[in-house]
């Protein structure tokens, strides 16, 4: 239900803005919050539960992206400071030394800049597959919806293109007590199976991190259904 997904996103954004002081906190005067509440109040109990669960899930992703964005801004400020320092160092060297000496010094990396900052390869197969999954996201089973089924099937398809197929399988989790039914994957990492949320956009992709609540119970995982779900793939 796309409208529950959108309402969940609106609620998650409100939660994020309120937590990090991006809004006044006066919800009664907020136009977006007013629209959200008017739509929310028209839903039945099940739809409200879907909106609330969606909001919790999307809030975690949005909060992670928000923190990454803040970190990137601080990093950009640091790099600008380093760049200004390098420019001043060059200008000072030109004034003080001969041009030949200046060129020699320019061939030496500035102090404090490590080669470790340059990433030549990303060994995290799971994260690389997540990026491919989100880049190629589509309706995989022909039901005209985008949900956990599509993410799980597509992740498996993308994984099998590059890596050992036996190191990745589709997993189902069904918790009747929590009215929970979810599809995801598990992959071999460092020789151990790790359950993965394919909807994650960050390296915090473990199921235990995304669903640290009463809904997801690892002992309720259902394995051995990979071929069944892949058979539903229409694309």
Residue 67 domain-assigned (yes or no): yes
Give the structural domain span for 67.
1-108
Instruction: With a cut of 70, say whether residue 145 has pLDDT above it.
Output: yes
Kindly report the pTM of this predicted structure: 0.49
More confident residue, 166 or 18: 166
> Which of 78, 108, 138 is where one domain is finished?
108
pLDDT tens for residues 96-137? 555 544 444 444 444 333 333 333 344 689 999 999 999 999
pLDDT tens for residues 199-234? 998 888 999 888 877 889 999 999 999 999 999 887
How many independent structural domains does the chain possess? 2
> Buried b / exposed e across 50-83, counting CB within 10 Å, b at 16+?
bbebbbbbbbbbbebebeeeeeeeeeeeeeeeee
Nearest by Cα to 32 from 21, 20, 24: 24
State whether 6 and 103 are in the same domain: yes
Nearest by Cα to 93 from 106, 80, 74: 106
Residue 4 domain-assigned (yes or no): yes
Q: Where residue 2 falls among pLDDT bands split at 50, 70, 90?
A: low
- Burial (CB < 10 A; 0-12, 13-18, 19+), residue 144, is exposed
Q: What is the 3-class SS of 203-232, one letter each residue?
A: CCCEHHHHCCCCCCCHHHEECCCHHHHHCC
Residue 113 domain-assigned (yes or no): no
């Amino acid at each position: 239900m796309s409208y529950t997904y959108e309402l969940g996103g609106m609620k998650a954004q409100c939660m994020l803005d309120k937590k990090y002081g991006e809004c006044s906190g006066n919800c009664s005067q907020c136009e977006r919050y007013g629209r959200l509440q008017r739509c929310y109040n028209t839903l039945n109990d099940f739809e409200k539960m879907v909106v609330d669960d969606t909001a919790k899930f999307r809030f975690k992703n949005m909060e992670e992206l928000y923190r990454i964005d803040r970190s990137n801004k601080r990093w950009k400020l640091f790099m600008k400071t380093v760049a200004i320092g390098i420019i001043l160092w060059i200008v000072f060297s030109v004034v003080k030394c001969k041009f030949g000496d200046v060129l020699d010094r320019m061939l030496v990396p500035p102090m404090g800049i490590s080669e470790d900052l340059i990433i030549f390869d990303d060994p995290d197969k799971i994260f690389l597959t997540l990026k491919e999954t989100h880049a190629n996201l589509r309706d995989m089973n022909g039901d005209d919806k985008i949900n956990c089924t599509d993410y799980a099937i597509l992740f498996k398809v993308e994984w099998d293109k590059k890596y050992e197929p036996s190191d990745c399988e589709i997993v189902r989790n069904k918790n009747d007590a929590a009215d929970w039914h979810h599809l995801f994957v598990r992959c071999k990492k460092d020789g151990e199976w790790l359950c993965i949320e394919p909807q994650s956009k960050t390296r915090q992709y473990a199921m235990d991190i995304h669903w640290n609540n009463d809904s997801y119970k690892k002992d309720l995982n259902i394995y051995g259904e990979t071929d069944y779900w892949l058979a539903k793939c229409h694309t």
